Amino acid sequence: MDIEQTLEQMTLAGKADLCSGADFWRTKPIERLGIESIMMSDGPSGLRKQAGDGDHMGINESIPAVCFPAPVAIASSFDPALARTVGETMGRECQAEGLAMLLSPGMNIKRTPLCGRSFEYYSEDPYLTGQMGVATVQGIQSQGAASCVKHFAANNQEKMRMAGDSVVDERTLHEIYLSAFETVVKEARPRSVMCAYNRVNGTFMAENRELLTDVLRDKWGFDGFVVTDWGAVKNQVKGIQAGLDLEMPGGSKAGRNRILAALEDESLTEAELDDTVRRLLTMIDQSVRQQKTGVAFDREADYAIARDAARECAVLLKNDNDILPLDDKGKIAFIGSFAERPRYQGSGSSHINSARVSSALSAVQDLDVHFAQGYTAAESKTDQMLLAEAVELARQSEAAVIFVGLPDRFETEGVDRKTLDMPDNQITLIETVAKAQPKTVVVLHHGAPITMPWADKVPAILEMYLSGDGVGEATVDLLFGRSNPSGRLAETFPLSLTDTPAFLNTPDAKGRVEYREGIFVGYRYYDIREMDVLYPFGHGLSYTHFEYTSLKFDKARLDDTQTLSVSVTVKNIGHRTGKEVVQLYVKPVDSQVSRPVRELKGFAKIELQPGETRQVTFRIDKMAFAYYEPLLRDWHVESGDYTIEIGSSSRDIRLDGTVSVTSTVRIPVVFTRYSMMGEILKTPVGQRMAEQMQAQRGDEGSSDVDALGEGASGMAEAMKQELPLEALISYGVMTEEQLDGLLAALQQNS
Ligand code: BGC
């Protein structure tokens, strides 16, 4: 399509029409000009293509499809190649189903584990979220389908999600909440971004020019189109002026009429509308050109991909005395309703109509496994009969595996959780069975951190999260050692809800929530407060062990335009083939700004045979050392030393070494009469002033500051550093005129 020519041929009404969808999932066609309608669907765990009645909460039927592991599980694989494969598979399915765009991935940071959509997001860490997002978008788009990354931005809880206001300082916003979007936009070029329902710092995202245009398009170079979350539009004219393109779902004429009225009264110019329409036409044109024919949705093949992915995502949280893997010759008890009917996906708009799901029970037909239901998933109260049956079976078996987690109703889009606790009946089941059978393994199915008051009472815990259609087969493969667990937690499991970073900063009655914990989210918070946690970020065990040696850097000093190569040697020192996730954290040694203790800046997943050794090399750059500096409105590296930590988790650091990094950028300093002496004395002008004052004091005797006494000279020195410049006037050291002169000199030389 010739976009400019088409634009010229469009009527104003036609242009206004195109800015809202035709129905729940489609854009409007304009037959006269050959503009086709394109279709989109959720995301992010598979296709939720609705052929009949549409809805945005996963209520009405969608086509039979394949459910892949939820994003929380995909992130736990710490394997971008796997995320890419899943993305490619979904992209292919889109082509087979005539879908131009998949509403995936969700890139929001897990600020609180209570968020009802935690399962749909990757991680508490922006770097990991960014890497997983890049791989997923590249996978989807490699097939010609468009990826729509969501929900931009600071959409971190469900409470009052359509009206809430996330109040976030600039540094936190960029460093924590925008950073993964920035990475994905720059590195994977998604063709679409979905703006969130909520406000950010008082302005609805659908009307937030600062974020939709100044940051997303102008700063990051986004050249795709922005679609609203379903029903997020308030005033479409303001939206268009802010950088919004498409209102979804469609069906109402309100937006169109408002646009036409605004053109009429000249509060909207045709040029402004054209920018939006141009982006929409480009998207439609690209989609039509990339649409392939003859692509089949091979549900069996894609199920196998989902199952293989599920194995890679599981996290072995605990394995005392190597109780796992289980011997597949013995009599084993499978206990718990989830063994028969697993929980494998979350509720809401991501809900997939699975064509086939495997349960753990259906995957052990050839083994001596016996089943007891143990509890009713829909209840929280213990059913004594089910409990007694389960205990009896556990007693008669060589080992017991209990399948528990959170019931559906605990985790869903639109509602936040109120507690991190599991239902009482499941806790009682674990505790009672563990007393009867010392070889008790707990398998978990849920989408976000839970408390585990029972963790010390069982020797092994396997975290399966919500791992999609292949959940049962994958679980059994891992339990019996046909596969070796290799996932790592992409989020911290805290000891209690009251420990969590955002615990004190929750939405008020109007949905306004101040992100007062700032950049200290997830492990950044637990580490700086030196708190114990249940399981730390990056944690996950294997049936083998790895040894780390020979940490090397290609240079000891660098500036922020250079890259640093970091290599380390890893050896499988156990008896099974296994995969290790080598994690690289960066830790400022001595910083003038508030920084987290450590931040993940690299990771690599490698497979090693027993006895095999491999060198892993990371290449890190400015972004590994930088923080977001509001004075520069940009990322900035503070000159100084940084420790590079290599570990198997954020709390299992095996090797470290220090490099020195120099900044090539100076932060402009503004001096005022309230600037501290400490800051001023660091400048040449300040030093000269100090010398002059010293000489003067030599002539005139001591000042009030010096009168603090000889013995207290250390304290006096410290106090001087903390004195505001203007105090020198009260102390009679300087006149107003001299102070003005000094400020002018400081400013001139800064
Ligand atoms: C969700 C989006 C989803 C859309 C369409 C909204 O309620 O927030 O993530 O893509 O519905 O179903």
Which residue in 323, 345, 293, 295 sits closest to 464, CA to CA? 345
Residue to mutate, 349, 353, 416, ligand 1, most ligand atoms under 8 Å from C-beta: 349
pLDDT, average across residues 124-147 = 98
**In the 8-state DSSP scheme, what is residue 499?**
G
Ligand 1 atom closest to the CA of 249, numbered from 1: 5
Q: Are 582 and 552 in contact (CB under 8 A)?
A: no
Using the predicted structure, report yes or no on whether residue 748 has a pLDDT greater than 90: no
The CA 56 to ligand 1 mean position distance, Å, reads 5
| pLDDT of res. 703 | 52
Q: CA 298, CA 303: separation in Å to the nearest integer? A: 9
What percent of the residues of the chain are helix, what percent strand, and what percent coil, each to the nearest 5? 35, 20, 45
The CA 302 to ligand 1 mean position distance, Å, reads 24
Q: Name every residue whose Cβ is closer than 8 Å to that of residue 390 and which is 6 or more positions away in sequence.
A: 333, 335, 336, 372, 373, 374, 429, 432, 433
Q: Residue 405 is which amino acid?
A: G
Q: What is the pLDDT of residues 36-72, one digit of tens each?
A: 999 999 999 999 999 878 887 777 889 999 999 999 9
Using the predicted structure, report yes or no on whether residue 460 has a pLDDT greater than 80: yes
Strand, coil or helix: what is 630?
Answer: coil
Q: Are 110 and 522 in contact (CB under 8 A)?
A: yes
Residue 700 pLDDT class (50, 70, 90 cuts): low
User: How far is C-alpha 236 from the chain's CA centre?
Assistant: 29
Cβ neighbours around 202 below 10 Å, total: 10
Q: What is the CA radius of gyration of the chain?
A: 29
Residue 712 pLDDT class (50, 70, 90 cuts): low
Q: Which residue's CA is the closest to the ligand 1 atom numbered 9?
A: 349
pLDDT, average across residues 569-594 = 97
Using the predicted structure, report yes or no on whether residue 747 has a pLDDT greater than 90: no
Q: Which residue's CA is the closest to the ligand 1 atom numbered 5?
A: 56
Supply 66's token pair. 């394949």
Using the predicted structure, report yes or no on whether residue 699 has a pLDDT greater than 70: no
What ranges make up the beta strands (E) of 349-439? 353-354, 369-372, 399-405
Ligand 1 atom closest to the CA of 58, numbered from 1: 12
What is the percentage of the chain residues whose pLDDT exceeds 70? 97
Q: Which of 229, 416, 421, 527 is catalytic?
A: 229
Residue 706 pLDDT class (50, 70, 90 cuts): low
Do you know the residue count of the chain?
750
pLDDT, average across residues 518-542 = 98
Which residue in 32, 44, 91, 109 sits closest to 71, CA to CA? 44
- Ligand 1: residues whose CB is within 6 Å? 42, 56, 103, 150, 229-230, 349
Using the predicted structure, report yes or no on whether residue 592 has a pLDDT greater than 80: yes
Using the predicted structure, report yes or no on whether residue 729 has a pLDDT greater than 90: no
| pLDDT of res. 684 | 87
Residue 713 pLDDT class (50, 70, 90 cuts): low
pLDDT, average across residues 191-198 = 98
The CA 271 to ligand 1 mean position distance, Å, reads 30
Q: What is the pLDDT of residues 210-262, one digit of tens each?
A: 999 999 999 999 999 999 999 999 999 999 999 999 999 988 899 999 999 99
Residue 708 pLDDT class (50, 70, 90 cuts): very low
The CA 325 to ligand 1 mean position distance, Å, reads 40
Q: What is the pLDDT of residues 411-437, one digit of tens each?
A: 999 999 999 999 999 999 999 999 999
| pLDDT of res. 679 | 86
H or E stretch covering 237? helix 236-242
Reply yes or no: is the peptide bond before residue 43 cis, omega within 30 of 0. Answer: yes
| pLDDT of res. 701 | 55
Q: Which residue's CA is the closest to the ligand 1 atom numbered 3?
A: 349
Residue 309 pLDDT class (50, 70, 90 cuts): very high
Ligand 1 atom closest to the CA of 150, numbered from 1: 9
Q: Are 639 and 622 in contact (CB under 8 A)?
A: no
pLDDT, average across residues 513-523 = 98
The CA 230 to ligand 1 mean position distance, Å, reads 6
Strands 192-195 and 225-228: parallel
The CA 113 to ligand 1 mean position distance, Å, reads 20
Answer yes or no: 298 catalytic: no
Q: CA 207, CA 203: separation in Å to the nearest integer? A: 7
Phi, psi dihedral angles at 640 (to 5 degrees): 155, -175
Residue to mutate, 56, 108, 192, 227, ligand 1, most ligand atoms under 8 Å from C-beta: 56
Q: CA 719, CA 101: separation in Å to the nearest integer? A: 62
Please provide the average confidence, as pLDDT, over all residues in the chain. Answer: 95
Residue 379 pLDDT class (50, 70, 90 cuts): very high
